[in-house]
Structure 1
Amino acid sequence: MDVIEPKPAPYRPDVQIASLGDAIGDPVTAADFPETVLRFRNDRWAPAVGLESLSDEDWVRHFGRFEPLPDNLPQPLALRYHGHQFRVYNPEIGDGRGFLFAQLRDGEGRLLDLATKGSGTTPYSRRGDGRLTLKGGVREIMATEMLEALGVETSKTFSLIETGEQLHRGDEPSPTRSAVLVRLGHSHIRIGTFQRAAFERNEDFVAKLTRYCLDQYYGAPDVDDPGAALLERAVDACARQAAGMTVAGFVHGVLNSDNINITGESFDYGPWRFTPKWTPGFTAAYFDEGGLYAFGRQAEAIHWNLAQLAGCLTLIGESDPLKAAFDRFPDRYREHFVSQFLWRLGFAPRGSEEDLHLVAAAEKALTESGVLIDRFFFDWMGRPQWVDPAYAGEAFAHFRTRASAYEPARARTHAYWSGEPCSMHIEEVEAIWARIAEDDDWAPLTAKVAAIRAMGAAYRD
């Protein structure tokens, strides 16, 4: 399984979004915050886009006051989109508390976006205040760092700046502190972006969006059937996303079509959780009463969203090739799921059927035994032979037999493997936030990010 590592590069602005014209978004102005206190800057990814040399003062000017970056977007854009929210179509959404701030190339040559959350009101804010709680920003740091370490394609939390306002929210103690977050991501073109264009019957814009995505994100500008070509690539990317989140034990919480982007990169973290155990019905959002986006249903949810993209693309293509591309999702999900499961186990693949049986045995054992997910992968990583009495029971019998035929793909040489598994369960998330909220103590968060990155280095070692 390939994991993208940040590769140092010079600053390379590249405002490709302008080629989509006025239909993609609306120019907006950032809020004028009473304070801008830098709380987090991503020094792991800043060199990949040539911004590591910014002083803290300059960092705040760009990512707290939103002074444009050189030769980049002269004014932020609040992107336009629609979407299905818990499978109910909503034509009244768009960037309501964020905007696209800049586009630039990374060391791999990929077009990346710098986009915000909590940067003020836009034409799509409706009755919202356009703000982000500091707790929400802290939680997004933890989610993105953990997912990246576990090999999941995710946006990166690039910056978090506290903004000195008191916010009132119905689902957490109020008043609470405010912040503005900047994320670095590989596209903010959503399935919902296509849905808006299709809702408006704007065939020309659907065609333009399709060509843009094929060219900028998939390196395929010249194809005979652009709609089917894009859907085929999106199906593969989103199948990888669903598989990665599941192997990580991650539950996104709100897998609406406006939260699924065209490159299959997980982003926009609200009520997320990591499930401690392999519990298919585990949900992250208290309002997901029917379990639509439960741990065991995330692949189904993403596949359903891809059906909405396919429907949009019928405006520019024939149904049969689109259906063929859409129908590949189950196979592609299974392939990615097995590949990422073996990667996290540290086992060298043996062949599709054997690998599939091994992973099925592991899932069954985890479900029946109640062993913690992170504990399981930590104990077995690179150890195809059974070594721990915790796995002596009947629940793991079939898995032990299957695992004994495998060879390790990586050695347990990193210092991480001599300690304890790194997890991100809700109790620790709340404890880290409590130290910030009560004592303005950021040391536990800093230590947790360091521990997560050490785990990531161990998996990549």
Structure 2
Amino acid sequence: MPVSPAYRPDPRFPELGAEFADPVHAEAFPKTILRFRNDRAAASIGLDTLTDDEWVAHFGRFEPLPGNIDPPLAQRYHGHQFQVYNPELGDGRGFVFAQMREAGTDRLLDLGTKGSGRTPWSRSGDGRLTLKGGVREVLATALLEALGVPTSRSFSLVETGEELVRGDEPSPTRSAVLTRLSHSHIRFGTFQRHAFFERADRITALIDHVIAVYYPELAEAADKPTALLTAVSERMARLTARWMAAGFVHGVLNTDNMSLTGESFDYGPYRFLPKSDPNFTAAYFDHAGLYAFGRQPEAVFWNLQQLAGALTLVAETDPLVDALNVFGPAYRRELVAAMLLRLGVKPREAEADAALAQAAFKALAEGGEAVRWEPFFFDWFGGGADRALAGRRAETYRGGDFDEFRMLIGPYEAERPERLAHPYFAQPEPEELLYDEIEAIWAPIAAQDDWAAFEAKLARIETARVAWGLPAQGT
């Protein structure tokens, strides 16, 4: 392919060596039909100049990108799944395909796959992804990015022409391969695997790699394991707070789904809240509500404890405990900041900001069925009561449940008030992504191969992203 000057390959993951990944190859799929390409993300790594044919060659047939990883590498890792340890994990239907530098930030980014075929870690699985699963992930990442959540970005979706049998959706169903753009695919479970085998040398090598590539500011730390755990705890606090402010339920918060760079990824049975409900679960198989909306901070902290346990092979326990204890205060601080971002108001002072965030959660909870999650933030964006009390939910907001919230938000000024001039805020309703809408988007694809609703939804989410103007990925 003709290489763009913005394309800067930097394949660092192979440096870890053979004990961390296995060379694999993608399946030769019967078809490669391009269904989605993320040109905005592609521009950030110099791949937006690819023709559709070139795109399919690289992200449907996985011909290597120039100067990059060849062959692809399926990662080795373990993990706790619903808090039960599983030493049989690893990249069972994906691999790390390429790494390159991001324009503007110089961050190292990965292109990784989901549904690219069997690997040594597939166990009894077929290594495939359903097309519906790919569609759901594209939609999830688009909205999460728009809402300011640190997330992987769906980079490419290619339909692959196979019929898959699944127990949780009508079968046979169509197949696809998804490519993600992420800051890293190294997981908590990567450390757990080498702790399981009591290989302190490999844990040290992994720490050195992660610091050199993703946390260079820690290079001179006297106690690198503890410094890394502290930094990861802070990043995970930020991620969890952003989930909570977005009303997002990940659904499967296993340690193999926790990234060392604090990005959310691997969206299976996710949901966005229709209304406030701490017991709302995303996965139909989460019978105990382990990963319910209100328990997500607890789940993430538990996962951090497992990462700390793996690090005890190379660090003292007491400093690691101190690093873990960073999470609670960081989460509370980040949650207030996330709520102010969602409300579009300028911070004032810590006590008042915390009170406003608490009042917002209380109003959402006490509003019950009358207050949907996303419309609440849409109506009150920019602070003040004028927009909210002029909209279709005005009578709800005049109720007693909202007295405290109306009083507390009154003194707040809009952060970048020019955003309110965007046509998005003149709409009667905001963009949401509730279960029924996803099903409605999928139905014409399944029945008539009609992608119009999917494409229109992505266009509307992009409009919302521009209107909200929340901090860019990685900031």
SS at match of 2:113: strand
Partner in structure 1 of residue 211 of structure 2: 214
* Amino acid corresponding to residue 456 of structure 1 in structure 2: R
Other-structure match for 1:5: none
| 2:123 paired with 1:126 | yes
Instruction: Tell me by how many angstroms 1:44 deviates.
Output: 1.1
Counterpart for residue 382 of structure 2: 382
- How large is the RMSD of aligned CA atoms in angstroms? 1.1
Q: Does 1:31 align with 2:27?
A: yes
In the alignment, the residues of structure 1 paired with residue 220 and residue 364 of structure 2 have an alpha-carbon distance, to the nearest angstrom, of: 46
- Aligned match for 2:412, one of 389, 406, 411: 406
Q: Hey, what's the Cα distance between the residues in 2 that align with 1:10 and 1:240?
A: 30
Deviation per CA, 1:217-237: give whole Å up to 9, x if none. 122322211101100110011
Identify the residue that residue 201 of structure 2 maps to in structure 1.
Answer: 204
Q: Which residue of structure 2 aligns with residue 82 of structure 1?
A: 78
2: CA distance, partners of 1:153 / 1:119: 24
Percent identity of the aligned residues?
Answer: 57
Q: Which amino acid aligns with 2:454?
A: L
Partner of 1:272: 270
What does 1:231-310 align with in structure 2 at a 5 Å threshold?
Answer: 231-310=229-308
- Counterpart amino acid of residue 305 in structure 2: A
Aligned to 2:44: 48
CA separation in 1, counterparts of 2:15 and 2:94? 21
Shift of 1:9: 7.0
User: Which consecutive unaligned segments of at least 5 residues does structure 1 have?
Assistant: 1-7
Q: Is the 8 A contact 1:91 1:196 kept in 2?
A: yes
Please tell me whether residue 433 in structure 1 is matched to residue 433 in structure 2. Answer: no
1:247-304, CA deviations, whole angstroms, 9 ceiling, x for partnerless residues? 1111000000000010110000100010111110000000000100001111110110
The equivalences for 1:51-450 within 5 A come to 51-107=47-103, 108-220=105-217, 221-370=219-368, 371-385=371-385, 387-388=388-389, 389=394, 390-411=396-417, 412-419=420-427, 420-450=429-459
User: Aligned in 2, Cα 1:9/1:409: closer, same or farther, shift over 3 Å?
Assistant: farther
SS in structure 2 of the partner of residue 116 of structure 1: strand
- The offset of 1:384, in angstroms, is 2.2
What whole-Å deviation, never above 9, does each CA across 1:400-441 have from its counterpart, x for those lacking one?
A: 111112111132111110112110000100000001001111
Matched residue SS, 1:124: coil
CA contact (8 A) 1:144 1:154 kept: yes
Instruction: Quickly say closer, same or farther: Cα 1:9–1:155, change in 2 above 3 A.
Output: farther
Indicate the residue corresponding to 2:13 in structure 1: 17
Partner letter of residue 227 of structure 1?
P
Q: Per the alignment, in what secondary structure is the counterpart of residue 40 of structure 2? A: coil
In the other structure, the counterpart of 1:451 is 460
Kindly indicate whether the alpha-carbon contact (under 8 Å) linking 1:77 and 1:99 is maintained by their aligned counterparts in 2.
yes
Using the TM superposition, give the Cα deviation of residue 383 of structure 1 relative to its aligned residue in structure 2, in angstroms.
2.6
d(CA) in 1 for partners of 2:225, 2:380 = 43
Name the aligned partner's letter for residue 57 of structure 1.
D
Report Cα offsets for 1:289-344 as digits up to 9, x if no partner: 01000011111101100001111111111112111110111110111111011011
Residue 160 of structure 2: SS of its match in structure 1?
strand
Q: Deviations over 1:142-164 (max 9, x none)?
A: 00000000000000000000000
What's the CA shift for 1:126? 0.5
SS in 2 for 1:291: coil
Amino acid at match of 1:81: Y
| Residue identity matched to 2:32 | T
Q: Take 2:170 and 2:464, find their aligned partners in 1: how far apart are those partners?
A: 33
Question: Matched residues in 1 for 2:147 and 2:117: separation?
Answer: 32
Aligned match of 1:3: none
Q: What CA distance in whole angstroms lies between the structure 1 residues aligned with 2:426 and 2:212?
A: 45
Note if contact 1:9-1:49 (Cα within 8 Å) is conserved in structure 2.
Answer: no
Aligned residues: 454
Distance in 2 between residues matched to 1:410 and 1:455, nearest whole Å: 15
Identify the residue that residue 473 of structure 2 maps to in structure 1.
none
Supply the AA of the counterpart residue of 1:101.
F
Please report the TM-score for the alignment, with normalisation by the length of structure 2: 0.94
Distance 1:171 1:325 in 2: 40
User: For structure 2, which runs of at least 5 residues remain unmatched after alignment?
Assistant: 471-475
SS in 2 for 1:235: helix
SS in 2 for 1:45: helix
Partners of 1:218 and 1:227 in 2: CA distance:
12
SS at match of 2:421: coil
Secondary structure class of the residue paired with 1:142: helix
Contact 1:42 1:157 in 2 (8 A): yes
Q: Secondary structure at the match of 1:349?
A: coil
Distance across 2 between alignment mates of 1:119 and 1:33: 9
The separation in 2 between residues aligned to 1:454 and 1:162, in whole angstroms, is 26
SS in 1 for 2:186: coil
Note closer, same or farther for the CA distance 1:209–1:425 as it changes in structure 2 (3 Å cut).
same
Q: Say which SS state the counterpart of residue 162 (structure 1) adopts.
A: strand
Which residue type is aligned with residue 252 of structure 2?
V
- Runs of 4+ aligned residues of structure 1 deviating over 6 Å after TM superposition are none
